[in-house]
Amino acid sequence: MKTQISLNRINDAVNFKATNSKGQSMLMDGSASLGGINNGVSPMEALLMALAGCSAIDVVMILNKMKQKIDDLKIDVTADVKKVDDYKEYSHIHMRFHLKGEIKEAKLQKAIEMSIEKYCSVAKTLEKTSEISFEYTLNNEN
């Protein structure tokens, strides 16, 4: 199986539009580090977004299978950036899951663990570079 995307420059600065095979796109730029205009996410932010999206999909699917009712899901991701030679990497990524609904806490914990440790392809890729940790709130309670 193959996955394909394309990226096009959209102006004279470092602004780009990335598009998948179905035409869905995202805007990306590197202006944050250049002091220029900034109308897209940075590539390193996109890595964290990929992780959150991947894990969110898993958690929703696993909780659905467990017959739990999700009213809301939010994930905040914070990552520590470390300079290595001429590039940067995330030394540590912390994910805060915030769920609302008729969900048993033990099942939520299990669903998140299964995603991060077993199913989430993005987590399995990023864990080679970054320690990944998580916490959660359920109906606004820790």
Within 75-104, the residues that bind a second copy by CB under 8 A are 75-81, 84-90
CB of 124 to a second copy, least distance (A): 5
Q: Which is nearer to a second copy, 66 or 70 (CB)?
A: 70
Within 31-60, the residues that bind a second copy by CB under 8 A are 32, 34, 38-54, 56-57, 60
Using only the alpha carbons of the chain, give its radius of gyration.
17
Q: Which is nearer to a second copy, 25 or 109 (CB)?
A: 25
Q: Is 72 in the site for a second copy (CB under 8 A)?
A: yes
Within 103-132, the residues that bind a second copy by CB under 8 A are 118-122, 124-126, 128-129
26 within 8 A of 46, measured Cβ to Cβ: yes
Look at the alpha carbons of 9, 130, 93, 86 in this order and tell me if their dihedral is positive or negative.
Answer: negative
CB of 99 to a second copy, least distance (A): 9
Grouping H, G, I as helix, E, B as strand and the rest as coil, residue 98 is: strand
CB of 55 to a second copy, least distance (A): 8
CB of 131 to a second copy, least distance (A): 13
Question: Cα 40 to chain center, whole Å?
Answer: 16
Q: Torsions phi, psi of 84, nearest 5? A: -130, 120
Question: Cα 142 to chain center, whole Å?
Answer: 22
Point out which residues pair with 21 in neighbouring strands: none
